[in-house]
Structure 1
């Protein structure tokens, strides 16, 4: 079937992009510079969407895409001024959407980074065409402006397909603990003497990786070990003011309830109930965070 053929061709194309190491020569330096630009924890948290507990980029991209789709409809019905206004709205909001997407992209590596780089290049090309369309319309060249939006929207669609692949096929922006199994009942995970104040200890319960530690008052804490942002091993991180800091991208989670203190993580870290019996540490199913 035609749909199956298209899907196969798309997967082959994406695979070629993912394995195209030649893209690293431009993608890596740009990602490193952007990472330094977004280096502050407050800026990173805002761009990631931490205050919303939801990635910000998918929300923002709906505005320029919707505006430019509306412009095509307005062109079809002959509303020239409305189409130009819709294109302008898209151009005004596209930079913020691009900034949030670039922020998310800086924490990717390998094939994900390469696909994200092509995704970004297509978006920049589409924005350029829509900017040219707006200028042509402003000068009274409405026909030329309409023609420029056709390849612009096509590039936008191609870029969106790659963005969808990153989210739904590669899991970029997805809470990596979402599909962890539930721990059935109380499970013995470690000796009490192995879990100390000021030290992070890795453990496992029914196939779920954990990180264990104690407060200064000897309160026991157990969180999922894989960071919800990109899966960093929290037991290799550091303890800071009642929080555990991820060693990969510096997200900080409260030991008490797993909430995100600073991003780029947007989802809280799953927390486990704990108790001690006969010198052993037991945990049970994930509490809702």
Structure 2
């Protein structure tokens, strides 16, 4: 399975279809507020993995009920709930997929194809059950569960091996030691200008607004983009830094994510000033 996943990552032949699909998804889901909602900005957590719990749970429960006598009606209800709830989960997943790197999109495309096969099997299973062909409905349901399980495995590789939609910057915290670290002389920190500094090889950005100074991890949680090279803009009355790679935006006074494709907040570090020197530490 490892070798198969590696071949998928290098399968450049998928790019021709994947690139066209990416443009189509970005065109259909053009409004920023729609993309943000589907990324899970409002939730502070990627929305797609939260949504998939309902179809997966319903389909697994259907498989159990199909093995028990007298549960045809309950199984039909559950397979219908699972299939209907898979649609918004798929839309959220496509929105996330369109913002990934090319190697991630290759694996994600196969993940989506496998789940699409599963969804088609379950749609056929519903039709068969509603017309009284319960044996065929059960068979299609088990085929659907097999395809969806394969898709889940590929999705796990996408998330845990390739790091899709996981916070790419938080691991930087593990490289910092305990205690307070000097960052800069406060007098040298200009107003409303991003500065990049390093703490034990961990890159951070500094932003000063009056007496308030923010120290934030510099690598964007979405794809490790350099926030220090981003621009500062005001969004909903808050000064925000916008990632130059994919446009994720974070409030500079607290790190809250404002626009995706990032779905998690950016880590802000505690600060203090001692003898005119700005210091920071682990949260």
When normalised by structure 1's length, the TM-score is 0.88
Cα separation, 2, equivalents of 1:80 and 1:165: 35
1:136 to 107, 128, 138: 128
Runs of 4+ residues over 6 Å off in structure 1: none
Instruction: Tell me the equivalent position of 1:88.
Output: 80
2:154 to 162, 165, 175: 162
Tell me if 1:248 matches 2:241. Answer: no
1:236 to 229, 232, 242: 229
Q: Report matched runs for 1:1-289 at 5 Å.
A: 10-78=1-69, 79-180=71-172, 181-190=175-184, 195-215=189-209, 217=210, 219-241=212-234, 242-274=239-271, 282-287=278-283
Cα separation, 1, equivalents of 2:83 and 2:97: 21
Output one character per residue of 1:176-229: Cα deviation in whole Å (capped at 9) or x when no partner: 2222223543334446576433432222111211112322x3643221101122
Cα separation, 1, equivalents of 2:32 and 2:23: 16
5+ residue gaps, structure 2 = none
Instruction: Tell me the equivalent position of 1:4.
Output: none
Asked if the contact 2:185–2:278 (Cα under 8 Å) also holds between the matched residues in 1, the reply is no
Asked if the contact 1:194–1:201 (Cα under 8 Å) also holds between the matched residues in 2, the reply is no
Alignment RMSD: 2.0
- How far residue 41 of structure 1 moved from its aligned partner, in angstroms, is 2.7
3-state SS of the aligned residue for 2:193?
A: coil
Asked if the contact 1:186–1:282 (Cα under 8 Å) also holds between the matched residues in 2, the reply is no
Cα separation, 2, equivalents of 1:273 and 1:130: 51
- How far residue 240 of structure 1 moved from its aligned partner, in angstroms, is 0.9
* Alpha-carbon spacing, 1:178–1:150, altered in 2? closer, same or farther (3 Å): same
Output one character per residue of 1:234-260: Cα deviation in whole Å (capped at 9) or x when no partner: 111110121111122222211111112
- How far residue 14 of structure 1 moved from its aligned partner, in angstroms, is 0.3
5+ residue gaps, structure 1 = 1-9
- How far residue 38 of structure 1 moved from its aligned partner, in angstroms, is 2.6
3-state SS of the aligned residue for 1:76?
A: coil
- How far residue 283 of structure 1 moved from its aligned partner, in angstroms, is 3.2
**Which deviates further from its counterpart, 195-204 or 155-164?**
195-204
Cα separation, 1, equivalents of 2:220 and 2:30: 19
